[in-house]
Amino acid sequence: MMNGKSNYSEQFEIAKLRIKFNQLVVNNIIRIDAFYNLFMMAVSLEEFDWAQDFLKKYSINLEQKFRNNAVHYGNARIFFYKKEYGEALKELSKIKNFSFIHYKPAVKILQMMIYYELKLLPECTDAANSFIQFLRNDKLVHTDYKKVYDRFIKIYLKLVNVESSKKMSKLNDLSQTVKNLKEMLISRKWITVKIDELEKRMKNSQTKQAI
């Protein structure tokens, strides 16, 4: 699912029509790739109520070997949206062996985002380095996906560095990098919001120091 957000709305509406006309579930089974892609499209479009309903209704139609990954990752995403970060981490900890190739990177990215929200900066760095090592060693993840994941990691580590250093020059560089980036960036909106929050906090801090 690397088409970029501009195509998600159209794909999402088509997928909802497939559900409406009972084309998604065949012989009482929904394919894991279709389930994952549709859930992630809904999350990307911030259709969280729809995503939660979809998860509850259709996870039972997944093959048994995929349900653990799908349910606990899906629940974690919903908790993350609700800012219940501790609950999100609990859900991720319930995931057993990864049965679908895209869930492991997705879990690693979500963990990184949660650690940042909790301001657990050492854990942020450790999680990012763990992800880097995973991408180096894993032979199943396609090169195109690895490039997108690498791009996210680099931007994420810069964000963590700014959070740690509180240097306005680094924040400005990061903000400009994200604005100028034409390629797909995972969780671009989340990163942009975090940059904006940092800017406000740092400016407020400078104002207080000047008084």
28: DSSP letter: T
Of 81, 100, 119, the residue at which a domain comes to its end is: 100
Of 54, 69, 100, the last residue of a domain is 100
pLDDT given at position 208: 67
Q: What are phi and psi of 93, to 5 degrees?
A: -70, -15
**111 and 188 part of one domain:** yes
Whether residue 1 is found in the same domain as residue 72: yes
Q: Kindly state whether residues 208 and 110 are assigned to the same domain.
A: yes
Shared domain check, 163 and 193? yes
Distance CA 69, CA 107 (A): 9
Residues 151 and 71 in one domain: no
| Other C-beta atoms lying within 10 Å of the C-beta of residue 37 | 18
Domain boundary among 75, 100, 125: 100
Do 114 and 33 lie in a common domain? no
Q: Are residues 78 and 156 in the same domain?
A: no
Are both 108 and 209 inside the same structural domain? yes
Q: What is the CA radius of gyration of the chain?
A: 18
Contact 95, 68 (CB under 8 A): yes
- Cα–Cα distance for residue pair 156/70, rounded to 1 Å: 25
30 & 121 share domain:
no
CB contact at 8 A, 3 and 11:
yes
Is the CB of residue 176 less than 8 Å from the CB of residue 192? no
Cα dihedral value 33, 34, 40, 45, nearest 10: 160
Whole-number pLDDT of residue 6: 56
Residue whose tokens read 């990691």: 153
The reply to whether 113 and 182 lie within a common domain is yes
**HEC profile for 170-184?**
HHHHHHHHHHHCCCC
Number of domains, the chain: 2
Q: Which residues of the chain have pLDDT under 50?
A: 1, 3-4
Residues present in the chain in total: 211
Residues 149 and 116 in one domain: yes
pLDDT score, position 3: 45
C-beta of residue 121 within 8 angstroms of C-beta of residue 163: yes
Is residue 34 a contact partner of residue 43, using CB atoms and an 8 Å limit? no
Does 166 share its domain with 131? yes
Cα–Cα distance, 167 to 73 (Å, whole number): 34
Residue 200: count of CB within 10 angstroms of its CB: 10
Task: Give the residue numbers spanning the domain of 128.
Answer: 103-211
